[in-house]
């Protein structure tokens, strides 16, 4: 797999994982952005797959959304192992 394809896969996985976790907790993009101390357009860019969040951002999202530590990071890093992923082989 090419590096470009891998980056796109990670971005897409991050977008889906973050959006799903946020919606599951009933948190708006605006509220998540406020809690993270970032802008709402950045949250939107993550969820659209335009920008990949950093590891610290993912860890903070996990904390804010009361998600198991490392679960979002794992789902992003290994989308093929995520049962909810469209990247299953």
At 8-29, the pLDDT tens digits run 888 888 899 999 999 999 999 9
pLDDT, tens only, 51-72: 889 999 999 999 999 888 998 8
pLDDT classification of 83: cutoffs 50, 70, 90: low
CA distance 20 to 16: 6
What superfamily would CATH give domain 3-78? lambda repressor-like DNA-binding domains (1.10.260.40)
Q: Could you tell me which residue, 86 or 37, shows the higher pLDDT? A: 37
What letter would DSSP give residue 52?
Answer: P
Q: How high does pLDDT run on average in the chain?
A: 86
Residues 86 and 84: their CA atoms lie apart, in Å, by: 7
């Amino acid at each position: 797999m090419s590096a470009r394809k891998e980056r796109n896969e990670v971005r897409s996985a991050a977008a889906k994982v973050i959006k799903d976790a946020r919606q599951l907790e009933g948190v708006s993009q605006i509220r998540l952005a406020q809690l993270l101390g970032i802008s709402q357009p950045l949250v939107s860019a993550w969820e659209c797959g335009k920008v990949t969040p950093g590891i610290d951002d993912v860890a903070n999202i996990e904390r804010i959304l009361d998600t198991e530590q490392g679960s979002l990071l794992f789902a992003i890093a290994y989308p093929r192992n995520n049962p909810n992923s469209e990247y299953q082989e």
